[in-house]
Amino acid sequence: MTEKITAKDINEQDKALLSDLQDALANCMKCGNCMEVCPVYKEVGKEAAVARGKLSLMEGVLKGSIPLSAAFDAAMSKCVSCKACTAKCPCGVPADELILRGRQAAVKARGLHPIKKKVFALLKNRHLFDFSLRMAGIFGPLSFKKIPGKMAALARFPMPGMDYKRVTAPFASTPLRSQYPEVIKVDRPTMRVGFFTGCTINYIYTDVGQSVINVLKENNIEVTMPSMQHCCGTPVYMSGDVDSAKILAKHNIETFDSYNFDYIVSACGSCTEAFRIEFPHLFHDDPKMSAMTEKLAKKTYEISEFLIDVVKIDKTKLGPVNATVTMHDPCHMARGIKVTKQPREVLKSIPGLHFVEMKAPDRCCGSGGSFSLGNYELSRKINDKKIADIASTNADTVVTSCGTCRMHLTDGLFQNNMNQDALHVIQVLDRSYKAGHQK
Amino acid sequence: MEKHHINALKEIVGEENVLTSAEDLYCYSYDATPGHAHMPDAVVSPANTAETSKILKLANENHIPVYTRGSGTNLSAGCVPTKGGIVLLMTRLNKILEVDLENLVAVVEPGVIVADLNKEIASLGLIYPPDPGTVATATLGGTVAENAGGLRGLKYGVSKHYVMGLEVVLANGDIMNTGGKNVKDVSGYDMTKLFTGSEGTLCVITKIISKLVPAPEARKAMMAIFKDLDNAGKAVSSIIAAKIIPATLEIMDNATIRTVEDYAKVGLPLDAEAVLLIEVDGNPIVVEKEAEKVMEALKANHADLVQIAKDDAERDKLWAARRAALPALAKLRPTTYVEDATVPRNKVPDFLREVSSIAKKHNVTIGTFGHAGDGNMHPTIVCDIRIPEEMERVYQAMDEMFKAAIALGGTLSGEHGIGLGKLPWMEQQHGLVTMNAMRSIKRALDPNLILNPGKLVGEC
């Protein structure tokens, strides 16, 4: 390897990035408790797969003992960012964040992975991004075969970066935000809410977005989907490209701030986490942005959390949904924004619905956002455990609060020849409201 | 190690089970002990006993050091490949081979995680009691090799009380079986006990026959706070004198109490000199009676506050303080040494006093908690290994602490093992005659000194 870049080189490039990393890494006492909960380590079985190994590798690079190599890069990428290690750590080491820093160091030293580079370049250009994904919705059926009755599709022929057998969701022919006016009026609104749709809901799971709008309308809430909103930046941030993440974050912050909403609502744990935790983190040293970001963070809610904690929905309006439902907690809900009670309360408010808790509902489903793109086999193995846990509940429906979790669960159910529905919590509530009208 | 050795290893276990990249090797250069790290030349994961045997034969013929490793949670640098060579990763041997309900015995491979064995047998109403702090991550092979104990040591004993037989591979690659399913067995030297706790210096364990016991039907937890350390010590003695053997009898010293309170705000008085956590278990009727007697003993010895858990939720509350002990201490500073010097039960208050005066003398932060019932203390030193001047003081404190334990008739290690960490004091505890006897055993079974060389008995 001639293009080895040593700690000294990075040090010269970015001293601040390193110095605070060194202290954080020193706090890991190498007890290895993270091995108990790391879904990747459970499958791979090698020390470099678990947080303790990854943090040691970073230490090794900082000491100059090992190079910032392709193998280092590969080790850092083998993480679903489920935060289970951080939640488990007796020393309070934020391992998931440190691993992101490791990725950032790798990006700084070696550049982004070429495929990601192309995707992220596209992502930074909102118009081009929107255009491409609309085209995907229009021309998608040519390359994907829809699975009847499900929001799912199989590739018709091998595609680069995609496993042939994998089930994904079809791109919508009309994105959510084009299906509605920007402002969705109601008579005598009780409040004005900005809906941050996120990419999966706008371009793929428009059914979830429709349910969010329906439910908010049921509660006399005026919904606005700012047309200029864009990807929250989490995928780029998670890949270590902080500069791009900042561009996307700033765009969204300025967009949402200009509307002066009462609340901002999202139906995705990761998007909510972006507004609430990531954005303030990205701009903590920028006084002007920081004030605006903190203000938005305080009024951002995940949809179930919003309905239970803020709206305090009137449960007498709900009609019966006869289903046996189990729930998967997305990592960024359970350990990111720590919202697990409210979605359960939503479900338990629905008459006729039988809720069954699965084993370890907050264990990662293996999707890891874009992790499953580059590591499909591994994410499949992690997911198979989740699918087995779903099967043992005998539920006919599994619900979650994240688009990529839903997609990965749908794939897992298909691969394991199971027929359960995989839905977002809000879709079940939407059905319940509809049933309530028929009472 | 040379290229042809690596190739030969790949022949044995397959290409994908030999790791040689700098990044992978770096990840196996350490265990959970601060301050010890060394790069191996290869990490080799066998799938079975036959492969393990071939690896050892090759290593023995070529004088290559072999460091057996499970999950690498060792606290005495036992897994650190100090002389390079092979890290022998046993985690692929991870099957529970048999649960024999008629003999109450399990036959397991060494890579099985302790908690996984317990999960498997829970539905059968059985437990495997040794429960070191790392039960959820540590392998049975590792805990048997270290003769690990845990919170239930007083009543249930430690690993060696459960290992009935072993299959091991000797240094030259020979496969050997010891013991079996017999409750009584005096046929020959007790090689099972010799290998249990041998810290990877005499053999590589490839199969474990372990005793299982019925799970207790009921349990009851109590907590007592003492302003006076001696009263806590007397309370422990009175409980035992009342012929009660609690499953758990834990103590925390003042330094730990203050740290825990600062971190978890569980409501402990900052001037308390000791907190005792006691749990009795077994038959529900007996448990009630024993709990009563424990409460009497606590009150008779002037406990300043006693609490008894009425249900599981209250039990969790009482346990919260003890559970927070290590995390709270570990968060104070970057480096954490969890020691395990052990003294006879009646010397616990003396030892705690010694430790706190040593800490004061050298200006080192030490919180001590541990298993008061069996005298196994965990003086936990928190520091920053990157500050040489501080480490000087830490090493001095450690030295005096171990000497104090020995002077009280105690031992260097109750459950973490000697490895490298406590090697300097071994001769002081055992004397030259014993050390020579131990080294003779080592040389007899491993003449080329390839198995975890330099550890436990030092250089031979």
Domains of chain B: which residue ranges?
3-89, 96-214, 218-407
The residues, ordered by sequence, that sit 6+ positions from B453 with a Cβ below 8 Å of its Cβ are B65, B82, B83, B201, B459
Interface test with A, best of B13, B18, B19, B23 (most A CBs within 10 A): B23
A32, A65, A71 ranked by CB distance to B71: nearest: A32
Mark yes or no for CB contact A91/B137 under 8 Å: no
Residue (of B167, B150, B191) closest to B97 by Cα position: B167
Sign of CA dihedral A258, A261, A263, A266: negative
Q: Poorest-confidence range of A54-68, A392-406, B153-167?
A: A54-68
Q: pLDDT digits over B200-244, tens only?
A: 999 999 999 999 999 999 999 999 999 999 999 999 999 999 999
Q: Poorest-confidence range of A179-188, A363-372, A412-421, B422-431?
A: A363-372
- Answer with the residue of higher pLDDT: A324 or A141: A324
Superfamily of the domain at A318-437: AF0625-like (3.40.50.10700)
Residue (of A380, A422, A395) closest to A40 by Cα position: A380
pLDDT band of residue A146 (cuts 50, 70, 90) is low
The domain A176-309 is placed in CATH, from the list 1.10.10, 1.20.1050, 3.40.50, 1.10.150, at 1.20.1050
Mark yes or no for CB contact A30/B30 under 8 Å: yes
If 0-12 CB within 10 Å is exposed, 13-18 middle and 19+ buried, where does residue B244 land? buried
If 0-12 CB within 10 Å is exposed, 13-18 middle and 19+ buried, where does residue B270 land? exposed
Mark yes or no for CB contact A47/B22 under 8 Å: no
Q: How far apart are CA A254 and CA A277, in angstroms?
A: 16
Q: pLDDT digits over A234-251, tens only?
A: 888 888 788 888 989 999
Q: Determine the pLDDT at residue B102.
A: 97
H runs (alpha helix) in A274-362: 279-282, 287-298, 303-305, 331, 341-348
CATH number of B3-89: 3.30.43.10
Quick one: average pLDDT of A323-338? 96
Do residues A245 and A209 make contact, with C-beta atoms less than 8 angstroms apart? no
Counting one residue from chain A and one from chain B, the pairs whose CB atoms sit within 8 A come to 82
Quick one: average pLDDT of A174-178? 93
Residue B407 sits at the chain A interface (C-beta within 8 Å): no
Shortest CA gap B164–chain A (Å):
28
pLDDT band of residue A139 (cuts 50, 70, 90) is low
On the question of pLDDT at B374 being above 60, the answer is yes
Mark yes or no for CB contact A36/B21 under 8 Å: no
Quick one: average pLDDT of A105-126? 68
Q: Which residue of chain A comes nearest to B72, CA vs CA?
A: A32
Q: How far apart are CA A280 and CA A275, in angstroms?
A: 8
Give A429's strand partners: none
H runs (alpha helix) in B265-311: 284-300
Q: Determine the pLDDT at residue A9.
A: 56
Residue (of A396, A395, A413, A330) closest to A358 by Cα position: A395
Q: Which residue of chain A comes nearest to B111, CA vs CA?
A: A45
Residue A40 sits at the chain B interface (C-beta within 8 Å): no
Q: Determine the pLDDT at residue A67.
A: 81
Give CATH 3.40.50.10700 domain extents, chain A.
Answer: 318-437
Do residues A234 and A211 make contact, with C-beta atoms less than 8 angstroms apart? no
Mark yes or no for CB contact A60/B26 under 8 Å: yes
Residue (of B291, B348, B345) closest to B315 by Cα position: B291
Q: How far apart are CA A239 and CA A106, in angstroms?
A: 10
Q: Determine the pLDDT at residue A141.
A: 56
Fold adopted by B218-407: Vanillyl-alcohol Oxidase; Chain A, domain 3 (3.40.462)
On the question of pLDDT at A140 being above 70, the answer is no
Residue (of A221, A285, A287, A280) closest to A252 by Cα position: A280
Interface test with B, best of A1, A41, A47 (most B CBs within 10 A): A47
Tell the residue number behind the tokens 């299959």, with chain if given.
B167
Mark yes or no for CB contact B335/A53 under 8 Å: no
Going by the DSSP 8-state scheme, the letter that residue B47 receives in this structure is S
pLDDT band of residue A33 (cuts 50, 70, 90) is very high
On the question of pLDDT at A155 being above 60, the answer is no
CA distances for B276 relative to A187, B273, B371, angstroms: 64, 10, 10
Q: How far apart are CA B443 and CA B440, in angstroms?
A: 5
Q: Determine the pLDDT at residue A1.
A: 37
Shortest CA gap A307–chain B (Å):
30
Q: pLDDT digits over B193-210, tens only?
A: 999 999 999 999 999 999
On the question of pLDDT at A159 being above 50, the answer is no
What is the edge-to-edge ordering of all strands in the sheet holding B365-371?
Answer: B305-308, B218-226, B274-282, B248-253, B365-371, B376-383, B335-338
Interface of A with B in 58-117 (CB under 8 A): 60, 65-67, 69, 71-72, 75, 90-92
Do residues A278 and A234 make contact, with C-beta atoms less than 8 angstroms apart? yes
pLDDT band of residue A118 (cuts 50, 70, 90) is low
Q: pLDDT digits over A78-114, tens only?
A: 999 999 999 999 999 999 999 988 888 777 776 666 6
The residues, ordered by sequence, that sit 6+ positions from A63 with a Cβ below 8 Å of its Cβ are A7
Q: Determine the pLDDT at residue A234.
A: 86
Q: Determine the pLDDT at residue A262.
A: 97
pLDDT band of residue A173 (cuts 50, 70, 90) is confident
* Chain centroid, CA A264 distance in Å: 17
CA distances for B306 relative to A351, B186, B194, B375, B425, angstroms: 46, 47, 43, 22, 39
Residue A46 sits at the chain B interface (C-beta within 8 Å): yes
Mark yes or no for CB contact B72/A32 under 8 Å: yes
Mark yes or no for CB contact B32/A53 under 8 Å: no
Residue B384 sits at the chain A interface (C-beta within 8 Å): yes
On the question of pLDDT at A154 being above 90, the answer is no
Say what percent of chain A tops pLDDT 70. 83
On the question of pLDDT at B444 being above 60, the answer is yes
Q: How far apart are CA B137 and CA A42, in angstroms?
A: 11
Give B175's strand partners: B169
Class of the domain covering A7-110: mainly alpha
Q: Reduced to 3 states, what is the DSSP secondary structure of residue A222? A: strand
What is the dihedral angle through the alpha carbons of B159, B161, B162, B166, rounded to the nearest 10 degrees? 80
* Chain centroid, CA B121 distance in Å: 22
Q: Poorest-confidence range of A116-125, A301-310, B320-329?
A: A116-125
Quick one: average pLDDT of A224-235? 91
Q: Determine the pLDDT at residue B182.
A: 96
Q: Which two tokens stand for residue A310?
A: 């803020």
What residues in A contact B115, CB-CB < 8 Å? 36
Q: pLDDT digits over B428-441, tens only?
A: 999 999 999 999 99
Q: How far apart are CA B35 and CA B226, in angstroms?
A: 36
Mark yes or no for CB contact B327/A91 under 8 Å: yes
Q: Which residue of chain B comes nearest to A71, CA vs CA?
A: B23
Residue A23 sits at the chain B interface (C-beta within 8 Å): yes
- Answer with the residue of higher pLDDT: A243 or A328: A328
Quick one: average pLDDT of A360-372? 90
On the question of pLDDT at A375 being above 90, the answer is no
Mark yes or no for CB contact B330/A29 under 8 Å: yes
Q: Which residue of chain B comes nearest to A45, CA vs CA?
A: B91
Q: Determine the pLDDT at residue A65.
A: 86
Residue A48 sits at the chain B interface (C-beta within 8 Å): yes
Interface of B with A in 115-174 (CB under 8 A): 115, 134, 136-137
* Chain centroid, CA B231 distance in Å: 29
On the question of pLDDT at B87 being above 70, the answer is yes
Q: Which residue of chain B comes nearest to A69, CA vs CA?
A: B23
Q: Reduced to 3 states, what is the DSSP secondary structure of residue B208? A: strand
Fold adopted by B96-214: 3.30.465
Q: pLDDT digits over B251-271, tens only?
A: 999 999 999 998 888 889 999
Mark yes or no for CB contact A47/B335 under 8 Å: no
Helix axes B49-61, B3-13, angle to 10 degrees: 160
| Mean pLDDT rounded to a whole number for chain A | 87
B21, B26, B331 ranked by CB distance to A91: nearest: B331
CA distances for B103 relative to B107, B125, B179, B183, angstroms: 11, 14, 14, 9
On the question of pLDDT at B66 being above 50, the answer is yes
Q: pLDDT digits over B9-59, tens only?
A: 999 999 999 999 999 999 999 999 999 999 999 999 999 999 999 999 999
Segment holding B14, helix H or strand E:
none
Mark yes or no for CB contact B137/A45 under 8 Å: no
Segment holding B439, helix H or strand E:
helix B426-445
Tell the residue number behind the tokens 């334990």, with chain if given.
B405
At residue B8, what is the residue type? A
Q: Reduced to 3 states, what is the DSSP secondary structure of residue B99? A: strand
Q: pLDDT digits over A39-70, tens only?
A: 999 999 999 999 999 999 999 988 888 888 88
Give CATH 1.20.1050 domain extents, chain A.
Answer: 176-309
B28, B335, B336 ranked by CB distance to A47: nearest: B28
Quick one: average pLDDT of A118-140? 66
Q: Which two tokens stand for residue A23?
A: 């202290």
Mark yes or no for CB contact A66/B28 under 8 Å: no
Interface test with B, best of A22, A86, A91 (most B CBs within 10 A): A91
Q: How many CA atoms lie within 13 A of B384 on its CB side?
A: 11
The residues, ordered by sequence, that sit 6+ positions from B335 with a Cβ below 8 Å of its Cβ are A26, A29, B34, B35, B382, B383, B384, B385
On the question of pLDDT at A137 being above 70, the answer is no
What residues in B contact A57, CB-CB < 8 Å? 23, 26-27
Mark yes or no for CB contact A47/B72 under 8 Å: yes
On the question of pLDDT at A122 being above 70, the answer is no
The residues, ordered by sequence, that sit 6+ positions from A66 with a Cβ below 8 Å of its Cβ are A57, A60, A72, B22, B23, B26
Do residues B73 and B137 make contact, with C-beta atoms less than 8 angstroms apart? yes
Q: What is the ipTM of this complex?
A: 0.93
Mark yes or no for CB contact A46/B334 under 8 Å: no
What residues in A contact B22, CB-CB < 8 Å? 66-67, 69, 71
Residue A19 sits at the chain B interface (C-beta within 8 Å): no
Query: Going along B150-202, which residue ranges are E strands?
Result: 163-170, 175-179
At residue B110, what is the residue type? P
What residues in B contact A92, CB-CB < 8 Å? 327, 331
On the question of pLDDT at A15 being above 60, the answer is no
Q: Which residue of chain B comes nearest to A52, CA vs CA?
A: B27
Mark yes or no for CB contact B330/A91 under 8 Å: yes
H runs (alpha helix) in A31-183: 39-44, 51-63, 70-77, 84-88, 95-110, 114-124, 126-143, 176-179
| Mean pLDDT rounded to a whole number for chain B | 96
Quick one: average pLDDT of A15-28? 74
Measured at the alpha carbon of residue A170, what is the angle toward residues A167 and A176, in degrees to the nearest 5? 140
Full DSSP string of A109-134:
HH---HHHHHHHHHHH-HHHHHHHHH
* Chain centroid, CA B82 distance in Å: 21
Pairing of strands A421-424, A397-400: parallel
CA distances for B217 relative to B122, B223, B257, B405, angstroms: 12, 21, 31, 37
Residue A55 sits at the chain B interface (C-beta within 8 Å): no
